[in-house]
Amino acid sequence: MIRRSIVPMFAAVVMFGLMLGARPAMAVDNFCTMGNSPTVNTALGCIPVRVDEFMVWLLPFVFGIAGGISFLLMVYGFIMMTTSSGDPKAVQGAIETIQSAIVGLLVSIFAVFILRLVTVGILKIPGIS
């Protein structure tokens, strides 16, 4: 007999597999071109091969994920504060969670500027402009 809790999990796994969509096995060119730069054709689309163009392609995803996690942590901190019932330890924990989320968001926003300051301004690494 199948337990009731396993059926929804199995259905979720099957639906996730269907959402990914299996590609037919046929000869496909793995390279695509976007402008003058070579790119590799993947399930995520055409990914640039050169490191500088890859970082330009990747950074919006990374910052989006960091912003989403920060937002969720702030919401969690506000919920903790709302449900603390005046307990000073719970309020302090909620405040620390919110502060950590804001600091993490600021660090992720200024990460590119910090990297540029360190590599170009302080270390003067050639090839990075």
36-83 residue pLDDT tens: 778 888 888 888 888 778 877 888 888 889 989 999 999 999 999 999
**Contacts of 7-15 spanning 24+ positions with Cβ under 8 A:** none
* Angle at 70 (CA atoms; ends 69, 75), nearest 5 degrees: 95
Give the pLDDT of residue 128: 66
The answer on 31 and 61 residing in a single domain is no
Show the domain range for 54: 50-129
Q: What is the dihedral of CA 74, 72, 66, 37, to 10 degrees?
A: -140
Q: Which residues pair with 47 in a beta bridge?
A: 40
Mean of all residue pLDDT scores within the chain: 79
Q: Which residue has the higher pLDDT, 112 or 104?
A: 104
Tokens representing 101? Answer: 């989320």
Domain count, the chain: 2
Residue 33 phi, psi dihedral angles, 5° rounding: -120, 135
DSSP 118: I
Q: Which amino acid is at 70?
A: S
How far, CA to CA in Å, does 43 sit from each of 20, 22, 32, 123? 9, 10, 13, 38
Residues 76, 127, single domain; the answer is: yes
Check whether residue 28 and residue 91 sit in a common domain. no
In this structure, the answer to whether residues 82 and 39 fall within a common structural domain is no
Residues 33 and 62 in one domain: no
**What is the average per-residue pLDDT within 110-123?**
84
Helix (H) or strand (E) holding 1: none
